[in-house]
Amino acid sequence: MSNLMGSFSQSMDVKGRMSFPVKLREIIGERFVITRGLSGCLFAYSLEDFQKMSEAIRAVPMSKGLTMQRFFLSWASEVEADKQGRILVPQNLREFATLSKDIIVTGVANRAEIWDKARWDEFNNNIDEQDIMEQMEGLDF
């Protein structure tokens, strides 16, 4: 399985269309699912990976997983790149992620993330390297 990686600057037009990076589309596919993500971005999954995530979420007992089911699954939308490689991001997802004209698309292992550039910059400016070092403890690389 290939990993999605890299960061790509994109633009969104007033209709909510944006070019999805070719390098990521080659892995994630021309049709994929976008949904709400964490930290104010959108998550994009291949159809196969979204199915796996959906099954894992559904396996959690409703008493513990109802909010997670609603957060990720009820907002999910299948999109397909047009001949120019653009996707249409649904209005409700654009509003959730406060997407404006300047967009960053990142590859993060099995998913892509779609960020408003200002929010992406703010997120990156607040990363604490000490926290990263602590998270890396015990990893063998």
Question: Domain with 30 in it: what CATH number?
Answer: 3.40.1550.20
Q: Does residue 9 lie within any of the structural domains?
A: yes
Q: What DSSP designation does 75 have?
A: T
Cα Rg of the chain (Å, integer)? 16
Range of the domain at 123: 4-130
How confident is the model at residue 1, as a pLDDT? 56
Q: Which residue has the tokens 């892509």?
A: 112
Q: Does residue 87 lie within any of the structural domains?
A: yes
How do residues 1-50 score in pLDDT, each as one tens digit? 569 999 999 999 999 999 999 999 999 999 999 999 999 999 999 999 99
pTM, rounded to two decimals: 0.91
The count of domains in the chain is 1
**Alpha-carbon gap, residue 69 to 117, rounded angstroms:** 27
How confident is the model at residue 90, as a pLDDT? 97
Closest CA to 77 of 114, 31, 27: 31
Closest CA to 87 of 10, 2, 23: 10
Q: Does residue 139 lie within any of the structural domains?
A: no
**CA–CA distance from 9 to each of 26, 54, 106 (Å)?**
17, 29, 9
Which stretches within the chain are classed as H helix?
22-28, 47-59, 62-73, 91-96, 117-125, 129-136
How do residues 51-78 score in pLDDT, each as one tens digit? 999 999 999 998 999 999 999 999 999 9
Q: Does residue 42 lie within any of the structural domains?
A: yes
Q: Does residue 135 lie within any of the structural domains?
A: no
Q: Does residue 141 lie within any of the structural domains?
A: no
